[in-house]
């Protein structure tokens, strides 16, 4: 899942970005409201973390402008503790939820998961398809009851395939949701990761789940 973080304080931004990356999110950081607005309009994100206090264009203005432009990405507003007006203004501007600074990382991650769940219309933390189970809270994967160890990026890729299974997903959709803006589109990283995932998920299994749809993309699908 790909997240846009709009935060002008570098120390805070790098702390949050690092934590999100450790939890298998792809993260782009914008240091100003103007940059955040531009990035949110031109790329597709699964969620936006928006600091309310930014120099220049404020978080509230960014939020309003995005909703006016019909960008419906879930927005989690980062506000100052105790300021009820900021929270109310944030929600009125079109934010989906808010979190008061300073916050515990565990709470930020939980709110983010809740937002994306609402957006994707999925209720559980566990995704299941055929004999494959992905626990998004514990970051655990089981196939036919046996644990499979994945790296953070492999997990993010599998999670995205699972959320959309058995649909076909194009390579560019995968790039948009699993990688950040520094992804080199000429590289074959998607193919490399799909192959690694295949080794771990499908190798030695009688029923293969990861499909390549030539010229289109990939899907997680059990052949009838």
> Which residues are near Ca ion by CB under 5 A?
8, 51, 53
Tokens coding 63: 């939020």
Dihedral pair phi/psi, residue 204, rounded to 5°: 70, 5
> Is 116 strand, coil or helix?
helix
| Residue sitting closest to Ca ion (CB) | 53
User: Angle of helix 10-22 relative to helix 105-120, nearest 10 degrees?
Assistant: 60
| Shorter beta-carbon distance to Ca ion: residue 93 or 169 | 93
Per the CB < 8 A criterion, the answer to whether 182 and 127 are in contact is no
CB of 101 to Ca ion, least distance (A): 9
How many angstroms separate the CA atoms of 199 and 148, rounded?
A: 11
| Shorter beta-carbon distance to Ca ion: residue 51 or 96 | 51
CB of 53 to Ca ion, least distance (A): 4
Neighbouring residues of 50: CB distance < 8 A, sequence distance ≥ 6? 6, 36, 59, 62, 63, 75, 76, 77, 78, 95
| Shorter beta-carbon distance to Ca ion: residue 8 or 176 | 8
Cα–Cα distances in Å, from 185 out to 44, 84, 182, 213? 16, 44, 9, 19
| Shorter beta-carbon distance to Ca ion: residue 53 or 153 | 53
| Shorter beta-carbon distance to Ca ion: residue 8 or 89 | 8
CB of 63 to Ca ion, least distance (A): 14
CB of 190 to Ca ion, least distance (A): 35
Beta-sheet strand order (sheet of 75-80): 26-30, 2-6, 47-51, 75-80, 97-101
| Shorter beta-carbon distance to Ca ion: residue 59 or 217 | 59
CB of 11 to Ca ion, least distance (A): 11
CB of 85 to Ca ion, least distance (A): 17
């Amino acid at each position: 899942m790909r997240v846009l973080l709009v935060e002008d304080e570098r120390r805070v931004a790098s702390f949050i970005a690092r934590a999100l990356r450790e939890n298998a999110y792809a993260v782009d950081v914008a240091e100003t409201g103007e940059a955040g607005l531009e990035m949110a309009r031109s790329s597709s994100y699964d969620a936006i973390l928006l600091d309310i206090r930014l120099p220049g264009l404020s978080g509230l203005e960014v939020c309003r402008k995005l909703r006016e432009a019909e960008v419906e990405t879930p927005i989690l507003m980062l506000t100052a503790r105790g300021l009820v007006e900021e929270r109310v203004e944030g929600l009125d501007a079109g934010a989906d939820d808010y979190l008061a600074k300073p916050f515990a990382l565990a709470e930020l991650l939980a709110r983010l998961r809740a937002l994306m769940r609402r957006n994707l219309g999925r209720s559980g933390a566990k995704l299941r398809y055929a004999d494959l189970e992905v626990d998004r809270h514990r970051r655990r994967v089981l196939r036919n009851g046996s644990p499979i160890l994945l790296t953070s990026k492999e997990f993010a890729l599998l999670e995205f395939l699972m959320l959309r299974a058995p649909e076909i997903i194009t390579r560019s959709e995968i790039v948009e949701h699993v990688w950040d803006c520094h992804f080199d589109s000429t590289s074959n990283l998607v193919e490399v990761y799909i192959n690694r995932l295949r080794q771990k998920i499908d190798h030695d299994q009688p029923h293969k789940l990861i499909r390549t749809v030539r010229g289109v993309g990939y899907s997680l699908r059990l052949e009838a």
